Homo-oligomer: A and B are copies of this chain.
């Protein structure tokens, strides 16, 4: 349930064509296979092959690929074709930095709109994450982490910013099951920072403080990854 909630929420603002559209179906299908890992980074996306596989013509598939390109999930080269976008460490860095900025802003903007029940829900999710630490279930932990942050930024009144946050999370999702996702010591700190962030919002701290905290929380994850990468 929590999974589908977030997955559904992470949808484009205006680009959400009617579900009946084959373009849309193709888009969903290909995207699913990318984040799920069926199409690994570097995988060559051949229009004809995908079209035959889905039972469509190439035209809707083509459109779907272009949409995925705009989101940065696939790279495209004229007269050559599309490939699943790389897990390039540099890309990861850029994506995380961008997300730290837009998510920080989104969280700050939605903070005043978060009521007590939402806070409680977030806290419950965070507690579940704490439990996850002991049973060591990275997949579930990642999912809960997304849920947690969704609760915090989803009330952001500016749809553009919200869309940017969704895109950032989308790209991160496509890196699933890659080496990036989990940095050993980081998870524990992360849970603590979540609680601190909740307290900050509860106390009605000003937007600037919330933004800074949210941004720092993500930057810390990035820094932890960089520190780890240095060792290898």
Residues on A facing B (Cβ under 8 Å): 14-15, 17-18, 21, 59, 62-63, 66-67, 69-70, 72, 75-76, 78-79, 94-95, 97-98, 101-102, 105, 158-161, 164
Q: A72: which B residues are within 8 A, CB to CB? A: 14, 160
Can you list 7 A-B pairs with a CB-CB distance of less than 8 A?
A14-B76, A67-B70, A72-B160, A94-B161, A97-B158, A98-B161, A101-B101
User: Which 10 pairs of residues, A with B, have the shortest CB-CB distance?
Assistant: A98-B160, A18-B78, A101-B105, A70-B70, A94-B160, A94-B158, A98-B161, A17-B78, A97-B158, A15-B70
A208 to chain B, nearest CB (A): 9
Contact of A94 among B63, B69, B159 (CB under 8 A): B159
> Copies per complex?
2
The complex places the Cα of A46 from the Cα of B13 at a distance, in Å, of 22
The complex places the Cα of A79 from the Cα of B24 at a distance, in Å, of 13
A160 to chain B, nearest CB (A): 4
The answer to whether B14 touches A75, judged by C-beta atoms less than 8 angstroms apart, is yes
CB-nearest residue of chain B to A71: B70
Q: A102: which B residues are within 8 A, CB to CB? A: 101-102, 164
Q: A75: which B residues are within 8 A, CB to CB? A: 14
The answer to whether B161 touches A164, judged by C-beta atoms less than 8 angstroms apart, is no
The complex places the Cα of A133 from the Cα of B231 at a distance, in Å, of 56
Q: A97: which B residues are within 8 A, CB to CB? A: 158, 160-161
A76 to chain B, nearest CB (A): 7
CB-nearest residue of chain B to A59: B59
The answer to whether B78 touches A164, judged by C-beta atoms less than 8 angstroms apart, is no
Q: A164: which B residues are within 8 A, CB to CB? A: 98, 102, 164
Q: A70: which B residues are within 8 A, CB to CB? A: 14-15, 67, 70
Q: A95: which B residues are within 8 A, CB to CB? A: 160
The complex places the Cα of A101 from the Cα of B215 at a distance, in Å, of 13
The answer to whether B76 touches A161, judged by C-beta atoms less than 8 angstroms apart, is no
A95 to chain B, nearest CB (A): 7
The answer to whether B21 touches A69, judged by C-beta atoms less than 8 angstroms apart, is no
Q: A62: which B residues are within 8 A, CB to CB? A: 63
